[in-house]
Amino acid sequence: MNRTVPNEELDLLDRSLIQALMIDGRAPFSRLAEVLEVSDQTVVRRYRRMRTGGLIRVIGMPQGRRVGLFESWLRVQCAPDAALVVAEALARRPDISWVKLGSGGTEIHCLTKARTRADRDGLLLDKLPRTRRVTGVSAHTLLRIFVGGPERWCGLDVLRPEQVAALERPPVLPGLERHTLDEVELALLSVLGRDGRAGYPELARASGLSESTARRRLERLRELGALYLDVELVPTRLGYEAEATLMLTAAPARLAEVGAAVARHEAVPFAAAVTGAANLLAVVVCRDTDALYTYLTERIGAVPGIERVEVIPTLRNIKRAGMLVEDGRLVDP
């Protein structure tokens, strides 16, 4: 049964709740209700409706640089009749968090988060090259994320400044040393990767800790910046019908400036400096192809320092932030 939430049902309160969860994905329902100026029951009902309908999912994710993950953006070329099969196989891997089809259905884009260099190299040098009907692989290491992950998307901007301030958490201290996740923390992340709002009894059972200790360990991970809460959604369910990946080339001396400028665009939920011939990757979501054209000509075209742009339309999302996408819904992998 298709349980997607129609676009017209997403009113101002729905969007306000989504933005509030982007600020603090584990804020208690009572706190969310207070900030949004509605009843607790209303917030619970709205959240459950959107989550059950597969529209949104709050997910706890490890912060790659802080915990030592090897993060790469892969472009995998396939024979036309094999791309979907290969993409679905990649989506089943727990070390791959994003998978999408582009370029006429012959190219797969995916984001890997390998725990060790050996795991990453095994995928790039052994598994993918030996996969039948894969014709080419290029890997781009993520060097610096400008927006996406712990850096929030500015495309959903419906809350008042005082509401945003009421939900903001203290910033993570810069310059902290790398944090090595232990087995208990990995167990916590395993649960939070499916439901970032999982209750402390469930986290305690999964980790073997008491509820109070599980609460403290989770809070410590957030304070260290080793864990962040992400709100994943399917853009089409919010009316964004045109999605594309941009591979941008900027002069090295202006890369940080260009990356910061692109990250401020409301159409860009993810942007990162990467290795390769193109040194900036950006994911763009627009209302339609006409809006995408306007964005490219008026916004990207106005950013000083961009020397080249490759636009790769997204044909289908297979996996988003660890969640599979089926019939426009986010489902467990």
The Cα 247–Cα 312 span in angstroms is 8
Residue 107: CB atoms within 10 Å: 20
Judged on CB neighbours under 10 Å (0-12, 13-18, 19+), 281 is: buried
Q: Which of 317, 161, 330 is nearest to 230 (CA)?
A: 330
Give, in degrees to the nearest 5, the angle at Cα 272 between 266 and 275.
150
pLDDT of residue 4: 39
- The answer to whether 76 touches 108, Cβ cutoff 8 Å, is yes
Stated pTM of the model: 0.86
H or E, element range at 233: strand 227-233
The percent helix, strand, coil of the chain (3-state, each to 5) is 40, 30, 30
End-to-end Cα separation, the chain, in angstroms: 18
Residue 38 DSSP code = S
pLDDT of residue 302: 95
The Cα 303–Cα 301 span in angstroms is 6
SS3 (DSSP) at 198? coil
HSE-CB for 243 with a 13 A CA cutoff: 19
**DSSP states of 247-281 as a string?**
EEEE-GGGHHHHHHHHHT-TT-SEEEEESSSS-EE
Judged on CB neighbours under 10 Å (0-12, 13-18, 19+), 130 is: exposed
Judged on CB neighbours under 10 Å (0-12, 13-18, 19+), 315 is: middle
Query: CB within 8 A of 160, min separation 6: which ones?
Result: none
- The answer to whether 109 touches 99, Cβ cutoff 8 Å, is yes
- The answer to whether 249 touches 280, Cβ cutoff 8 Å, is yes
Low-confidence ranges of the chain (pLDDT < 70): 1-9, 125, 175
SS3 (DSSP) at 154? coil
Q: Calculate the CA dihedral of residues 142, 144, 149, 150 and round it to 10 degrees.
A: 150
